[in-house]
Amino acid sequence: MRKIVLLTIVAVTSAVIFSPLAFSARKTIIKIGINAPLTGDIPKVGECTKYAAMLWLEDIKRAGGLKVGNKNYEVELVIEDNESKAESAVKANTKMITQDDVLAIIGPQASKQAVPAGGVANKYKTVMISPWSTNPDTTLDRPFVFRGCFLDPFQGQVMANFITDEFGFTTAAVLYDVASDYPRGLAQVFKKIWEKKHGPDSIVAYESFTTKDTDFSSQLTKIVRSGAQVLFTPQYYNEVPLIVKQAKELGWKAPIAGSDSWGSPETVKLCGKDCYGLYFSSHYAAAGAKGATKTFIDRYKKAYDYIPDDVAALTWDALHLVQQAIQDTGKITGRIGKDRIAVRDALAQIKNFSGITGKMTFTQEGDPIKCAVIVKIDNKGEYGFYKSICP
Amino acid sequence: MELIKKFKHLFSNISLLGWLIGTLAAVVIEYYWGYDYISYYLGLPKIPVLFGTLIMLKNPIMIPSALAYDIIVYLIPILLTAGVSCNFANFLAGLFEKLPLGLSVLIHLIFFYAILHLWAGINDYRILIIKLTLISIILTVSVNVINGYQGEFSCSHPGFMALGAYTSSIITLVLFVNDKIFGTPLLPESIGPWLFPFALLGGGIAAAIGSLLVAIPSFRTRGDYLAIISLAFMFIIKSAVENLHIIGGARGMGGHPDYAPLPIIFAWTMLCIWVVHNFVTSIFGKALNTVRDDEAASEAMTIKTRKTKVTAFMFGAFWAGIAGGLFAHVLAYINPSMFSINRLAEILAMVYFGGLNSIVGSIVGAVSINVLGEALRPLELFKWIIIPLILIFVMIFRPYGLISFKEIDAKRLLRAKNKNNQGIKDKRGV
């Protein structure tokens, strides 16, 4: 008995003494949470988010911390994996808010996680910016939740207008994933606007498939036979190459257009020459970028060896928005609840913020008003700027 | 070895009540001094949320501090208080032994909940983890009825969960909440929490009825056929919901009211464990086991095999529906892709990890997979290597899971242990 007691006492005291942080006072550190899908269905999106955030932190560290008012504060990133699952995103947000005391959260990127996670952020009165989520529910009736990108209705309109104005086409085909929220929403908007412009039967083929399908030949055969002048397919980088290649094999010669979900560098890597010359709407164009955008792309490419996609760029902008909001508050009180509300108010006030994905101003709902970019995949497989379309 | 034996002997006469008193002491210490004193002097930024695992993995420099915290806050108070209060606890436990068993269990459960509530009250992250773990326990116990006691391999549990989640969500959203899909509520919002159990029951019943769709065509066959039919059922439910735009389709459904606080979920979980325990230890449960072991023989023993199987299947599905309803109200958002093959893998992992044919095993499986999943969170990708590896090792060394074919014996668990000498006599007798 005595031995056991002695042993525990020795263990405890040694643990306390050797703990390097023992008896050190707590400091006020500005913590920014990153809620990213590092594992799961879309790990590339998570990786881009993480890397963009790390570049941002590098800048802050080089400047010796974040200057708020007259004081420099140390900044720390809390990067959490949401496994591309809704409940995990909720857990990650709850953990970052209640345990890590983050001042603001960036992410989750996909709407499936951003909608429930936004509920958590709003409940605990913590600013959350989802850079990439396009579901209106993410920010709806949630004063503390913002987003960094335009919404689906705007994007569908941009594409319908662009195709009409650029090529003068009047009939179009749509191929989309019925089981996934984003493509379906965008396909519906596109159909609505196209039919408004060109009459009720101008969408000659409206075909769908289900997530994880890899053979689209039956749908594509119908589309080829329908005689549509253009194919619109708002799919992700893992499906676009398959769709494009199979369409070409079936004799499709007209243009194929897509949406910002094409923006990953993987699209061209997997698709190769088949995708050259196609158009999609996006948040920014990497090739031929100028100014701050180019600096960001060059730095990112140097550090991680590939050209950043729109997720990285939007995350970068979201972080800078948060940074500016924190600086605009003028003072960090150290009482986290109060500071969070101050950051939220400052963020809602920001006007004409010039980010690398364009100028933005938030609406009442926390959605930005910003321009869309039409990207053309050029002959080298790079995403070149083609046109900018503003609301 | 000698030390461990001594240690074991030292604490062998502490009853469950004694351990509970010890844990209460630890939790009270954490509640009052955890943040301001103990974690402050150890240089921890906050109270370590999951026994310090998160902070240890993220920042190895913190390992000594976190370990010291665990020892000071949990280990020493628990052992000390349990040891000191041993006689008192045994006296109390002796008194409780004279009460009816149900009452005694209830008192213990209330005591346990009080501890859990204090522990979780420190941080909302803990509350969320406990909520989701309790829901996992319901799921695992219910799937154990089918995959364990009934011996079938059913893959439709996520489908049942989806049925329960959607049905109960629709009921609460239509009746009590002003939301985007269904508009103004039909009943006043204030009575919502009181009628919430009925919404959950509605979800459970919907799942049970849905399970008939699998049971009727597939119970003429056994084994692989059921697995395939039930898997198909799961995909049918998922696709159906995806294409039903009236309930949100693939975009999902949100805006649930907060009707599922911790005590409600705890009560439902305990109810589930109690009911399932009684179900599987009843004559019906024994009949179910005989059907699993030899269908023809049990038919010869006048057991209605078909009825037995269908009833057990519906019973399992019912609790999956309840779990789905609670899950929807905890997250306040559901979409069909939540109830897909990933969820199935998670549920099956919990059941087979914990142990077939055992409620204790199911609880152990659900708690360990959930807590491991959270505790290893900072490892990101490596988490998905470590957890499957542990599963593989469990399957190699204990093919039926950690604790299989074991039932809860509440009487033995709760009894006083001051009859120390008698215990030794027992051992000698063996």
pLDDT at B269: 96
pLDDT at A306: 87
Is the CB of B40 less than 8 angstroms away from the CB of A98?
no
Q: Between A47 and A135, whose confidence is greater? A: A47
Cβ of B36 under 8 Å from any chain A Cβ?
Answer: no
pLDDT class of A221 with cuts at 50, 70, 90: very high
Domains A29-150+290-370 and A152-282 fall in the same CATH topology: yes
DSSP-assigned states of every residue in B368-407: HHHHHHHHTGGGGGGHHHHHHHHHHHHHHH-TT-SS-S--
Report the b/e string of B29-54 with b at 16+ CB within 10 A: bbeeebeeebbbbbbbbbbbbbbbbb
Cβ of B381 under 8 Å from any chain A Cβ?
Answer: yes
Superfamily of domain A29-150+290-370: Response regulator (3.40.50.2300)
pLDDT at B426: 45
Residue B28 lies in a domain: yes
Distance from CA of A159 to the nearest CA of B (A): 22
- Res B430 pLDDT > 50: no
Residue indicated by tokens 């955890």? B34
Cα B151 from Cα B287, distance rounded (Å): 12
User: Do residues B324 and B347 lie in contact, with contact meaning Cβ atoms separated by under 8 Å?
Assistant: no
Q: Looking at the partner chain, which of A16, A97, A116 has a beta carbon nearest the beta carbon of B331?
A: A116
The answer as to CATH 3.40.50.2300 being correct for domain A152-282 is yes
- For residue B43, the one-letter residue type is G
Chain-centroid distance, C-alpha B14: 26
Residue B358 lies in a domain: yes
Is the CB of A22 less than 8 angstroms away from the CB of B383?
no
Residue B169 lies in a domain: yes
**Same-domain check for residues B307 and B342:** yes
Percent of chain A with pLDDT over 90: 48
Token pair for residue B233? 């059922």
Is the CB of B71 less than 8 angstroms away from the CB of A12?
yes
Nearest to A128 by CA among A148, A144, A109: A144
Cα A302 from Cα A292, distance rounded (Å): 15
Nearest to B376 by CA among B389, B363, B393, B395: B389
Residue B414 lies in a domain: no
Mean pLDDT across chain B: 88
Q: Looking at the partner chain, which of A1, A15, A184 has a beta carbon nearest the beta carbon of B250?
A: A184
**Same-domain check for residues B227 and B262:** yes
Q: Is ipTM > 0.90 here? A: no
- For residue B128, the one-letter residue type is L
Cα A89 from Cα A145, distance rounded (Å): 15
**Same-domain check for residues B74 and B223:** no
pLDDT at B370: 93
Cβ of B337 under 8 Å from any chain A Cβ?
Answer: yes
Q: Looking at the partner chain, which of A19, A99, A137 has a beta carbon nearest the beta carbon of B46?
A: A99
Cβ of B430 under 8 Å from any chain A Cβ?
Answer: no
Q: Which residue of A has its CA nearest to B71?
A: A12
**Same-domain check for residues B307 and B381:** yes
Nearest to B51 by CA among B121, B119, B132, B134: B119
The model's pLDDT over B31-46, given as tens digits with 9 standing for 90+, comes to 988 888 888 888 888 8
Q: How many CB atoms lie within 10 A of CB B354?
A: 29
pLDDT at B37: 83
User: Do residues A81 and A37 lie in contact, with contact meaning Cβ atoms separated by under 8 Å?
Assistant: yes
Q: Where would I find the H helices in B190-304?
A: 192-218, 224-243, 262-281, 283-293, 295-300
**Same-domain check for residues B128 and B100:** no
Nearest to A346 by CA among A316, A319, A315, A321: A321
Q: Find which of A3, A4, A87 to mutate to test the B interface (most B CBs within 10 Å of its CB).
A: A87
Chain B partners of A137 at a C-beta cutoff of 8 Å? 180, 251, 254
DSSP type of residue B75:
I
**Same-domain check for residues B227 and B81:** no
What CATH number should be reported for the domain holding residue B160?
A: 1.10.3470
Is the CB of A12 less than 8 angstroms away from the CB of B242?
no
**Same-domain check for residues B217 and B304:** yes
Cβ of B71 under 8 Å from any chain A Cβ?
Answer: yes
Q: How many CB atoms lie within 10 A of CB A128?
A: 34
The model's pLDDT over B76-105, given as tens digits with 9 standing for 90+, comes to 999 999 888 888 888 888 888 888 988 999
Q: Domain ranges in chain A?
A: 29-150+290-370, 152-282
- State how beta strands A29-36 and A104-106 pair: parallel
Cβ of B7 under 8 Å from any chain A Cβ?
Answer: yes
pLDDT class of A21 with cuts at 50, 70, 90: low
Q: Between B3 and B216, whose confidence is greater? A: B216
Arithmetic mean of pLDDT, A85-90: 91
Nearest to B143 by CA among B394, B315, B12: B315
Arithmetic mean of pLDDT, B389-417: 86
Q: How many CB atoms lie within 10 A of CB A138?
A: 27
- Res B428 pLDDT > 60: no
Arithmetic mean of pLDDT, B147-151: 90
DSSP-assigned states of every residue in A169-222: ---EEEEEETTSHHHHHHHHHHHHHHHHHH-TT-EEEEEEE-TT----HHHHHH
Task: Out of A139-148, A258-267, B19-28, B126-135, pick the least confident.
Answer: A258-267
pLDDT at A118: 93
The dihedral over CA atoms of A311, A315, A318, A320, expressed in degrees to the nearest 10, equals -130
User: Do residues A313 and A284 lie in contact, with contact meaning Cβ atoms separated by under 8 Å?
Assistant: yes
pLDDT at A23: 52
Residue indicated by tokens 């408004």? A196
Is the CB of A179 less than 8 angstroms away from the CB of B336?
yes
Cα A116 from Cα A134, distance rounded (Å): 14
User: Do residues A231 and A173 lie in contact, with contact meaning Cβ atoms separated by under 8 Å?
Assistant: yes
Q: Which residue of B has its CA nearest to A184?
A: B250
Total structural domains within chain B:
2
**Same-domain check for residues B184 and B50:** no
Let me know how long chain A is. 391
Cα B16 from Cα A159, distance rounded (Å): 67
Is the CB of B249 less than 8 angstroms away from the CB of A38?
no
The model's pLDDT over A360-378, given as tens digits with 9 standing for 90+, comes to 888 888 898 888 889 999 8
Chain B partners of A19 at a C-beta cutoff of 8 Å? 42-43, 62, 64-65, 68
Cα B166 from Cα A389, distance rounded (Å): 40
Is the CB of A15 less than 8 angstroms away from the CB of B331?
no
Report the b/e string of B96-118 with b at 16+ CB within 10 A: beeeeeeebbeebeebbeebbeb
pLDDT at B210: 94
Arithmetic mean of pLDDT, A50-56: 94
For B19, the domain range is: 2-106
- State how beta strands A358-362 and A368-369 pair: antiparallel
- Res B425 pLDDT > 50: no
pLDDT class of B422 with cuts at 50, 70, 90: very low
DSSP type of residue B146:
I
pLDDT at A212: 83
User: Do residues A73 and A65 lie in contact, with contact meaning Cβ atoms separated by under 8 Å?
Assistant: yes
Chain-centroid distance, C-alpha B26: 23
The model's pLDDT over B349-390, given as tens digits with 9 standing for 90+, comes to 999 999 888 999 999 999 999 999 999 988 888 888 999 999
Half-sphere exposure for B212 (CA within 13 Å, toward CB) = 6
Percent of chain A with pLDDT over 70: 95
**Same-domain check for residues B99 and B129:** no
